[in-house]
């Protein structure tokens, strides 16, 4: 039996297994039967959106106890509070299954891929709108992206990363009121129906620089990785390929992993690190080779889908 709780914040596991996002609700999955326990204020919404029995709880602890007492219940400990965890332990045997749920979510359905593709398309349109004749600082670019996101009635998958010249050396840099220089790195993604995109582009305001030349090399590495990906089955193999290509093209040793899974969260399974045994088949991935030098950093990132035979750039 699985148990998920959606409190004040969005819970990707709750949404994945229930298909809905009703706050302050418990989802019980017992074999193929799914039951939603909701407060009375959310009953009508739950009945409309959830395909299965909906039970109104008056006292969630007592009502839940009747359903799970003395059962072995699988939960994601990272998605519930310590207080809730302690209360549940009083009535049932809990089993941590967060990693198991992530592995299930790693393999994307056609519907999920379509939603991520839409999120990617919207993000690419937004990035193509950037006009650096009008946007003069990191913060202006960041604010523009967030304002346009609101105008499109969408949500950001994460806060935009906008950095110029030496600031681009830091992969998770927080944008500041800094005037744009020769090069601007923008890392951003939108959400579409709760599914995320993740893209990075470098824009060169001064042409012919060494950074621009290395960016072209980085893009070449990306496409070589994409060409080879169908020959691999685990994240570790991709990480090893990245190391070889960086050495081949005489770029600095990578300071972060080649990428990560993308879905209801911007960072999901599979992992693409040197120790990763996560399977690639069926996953949506953000592939983001990045090279960081003394006075600048560059990164190129696309969101892709691998169906086990071929790779599609979304």
Query: What is the DSSP-derived secondary structure letter of residue 181?
Result: -
The model's pLDDT over 33-45, given as tens digits with 9 standing for 90+, comes to 999 999 999 999 9
The model's pLDDT over 248-307, given as tens digits with 9 standing for 90+, comes to 999 999 999 999 999 999 999 999 988 999 999 999 999 999 999 999 999 999 999 999
Residue 286 is predicted with a pLDDT of 98
Residue 70 is predicted with a pLDDT of 80
Distance CA 258, CA 303 (A): 12
Residue 67 is predicted with a pLDDT of 87
Residue 64 is predicted with a pLDDT of 86
- Residue 73: count other Cβ atoms within 10 Å of its Cβ: 21
Q: Kindly tell me the sign of the dihedral angle through the C-alpha atoms of 176, 182, 187, 190.
A: positive
Which position has the token pair 């993740």? 198
Tell me where in the chain the CATH 3.40.350.10 domain(s) lie: 2-106
Residue 19 is predicted with a pLDDT of 94
Q: Which residues pair with 156 in a beta bridge?
A: 190
Residue 61 is predicted with a pLDDT of 87
Distance CA 52, CA 183 (A): 53
CATH top class, domain 110-313: alpha beta
Residue 108 is predicted with a pLDDT of 97
3-state secondary structure string across 201-218: EEEECCCCCHHHHHHHHH
Residue 179 is predicted with a pLDDT of 97
Tell me where in the chain the CATH 3.90.230.10 domain(s) lie: 110-313
Query: Which residues, other chains included, contact 103 with Cβ-Cβ below 8 Å and sequence gap of 6+?
Result: 269, 278
Residue 25 is predicted with a pLDDT of 95
Full-model pTM? 0.93
Distance CA 140, CA 133 (A): 12
Residue 31 is predicted with a pLDDT of 85
Distance CA 116, CA 191 (A): 8
Residue 285 is predicted with a pLDDT of 98
Candidates 164, 140, 156; CA nearest to 188 is 156
Task: Give the residues of the chain that fall short of pLDDT 50.
Answer: none
Q: Each residue of 139-164: b (16+ CB within 10 Å) or e?
A: ebbbebbeebbeeeebebbbebbbbb
Fold of 2-106: Creatine Amidinohydrolase; Chain A, domain 1 (3.40.350)
Query: Which residues, other chains included, contact 149 with Cβ-Cβ below 8 Å and sequence gap of 6+?
Result: 126, 155, 156, 190
171 neighbors 299 (Cβ within 8 angstroms): yes
């Amino acid at each position: 039996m699985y148990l998920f709780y959606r409190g004040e914040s969005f819970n990707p596991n709750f949404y994945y297994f229930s298909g809905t996002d009703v706050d302050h609700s418990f989802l019980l999955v017992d074999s193929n039967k799914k039951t939603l326990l909701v407060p009375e204020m959310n009953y009508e919404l739950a009945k409309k959106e959830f395909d299965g029995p909906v039970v109104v709880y008056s006292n969630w602890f007592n009502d839940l106890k009747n359903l799970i007492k003395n059962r072995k219940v699988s939960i994601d400990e990272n998605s519930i509070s310590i207080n809730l965890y302690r209360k549940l332990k009083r009535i049932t045997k809990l089993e941590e299954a967060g990693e198991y749920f992530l592995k299930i979510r790693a393999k994307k359905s056609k519907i999920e891929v379509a939603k991520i593709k839409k999120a990617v398309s919207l993000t690419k349109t937004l990035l193509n709108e950037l006009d650096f004749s009008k946007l003069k600082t990191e913060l202006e670019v960041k604010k523009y992206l967030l304002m346009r996101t609101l105008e499109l009635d969408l949500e950001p998958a994460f806060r935009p990363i906008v950095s110029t010249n030496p600031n681009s050396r830091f992969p998770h840099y927080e944008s500041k009121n800094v005037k744009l220089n020769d090069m601007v790195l923008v890392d951003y993604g939108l959400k579409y129906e709760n599914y995320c995109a993740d893209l990075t582009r470098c824009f060169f305001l001064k042409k012919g620089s060494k950074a621009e030349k290395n960016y072209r090399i980085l893009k070449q590495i990306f496409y070589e990785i994409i060409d080879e990906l169908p020959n691999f089955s685990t994240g570790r193999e991709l990480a090893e390929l990245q190391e070889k290509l960086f050495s081949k093209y005489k770029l600095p040793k990578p300071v972060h992993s080649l990428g990560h899974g993308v879905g209801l969260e911007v960072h999901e399974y599979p992992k693409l690190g040197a120790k990763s045994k996560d399977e690639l088949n069926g996953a949506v991935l953000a592939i983001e080779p990045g090279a960081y030098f003394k006075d600048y950093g560059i990164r190129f990132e696309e969101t892709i889908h691998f169906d086990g035979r071929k790779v599609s750039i979304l």
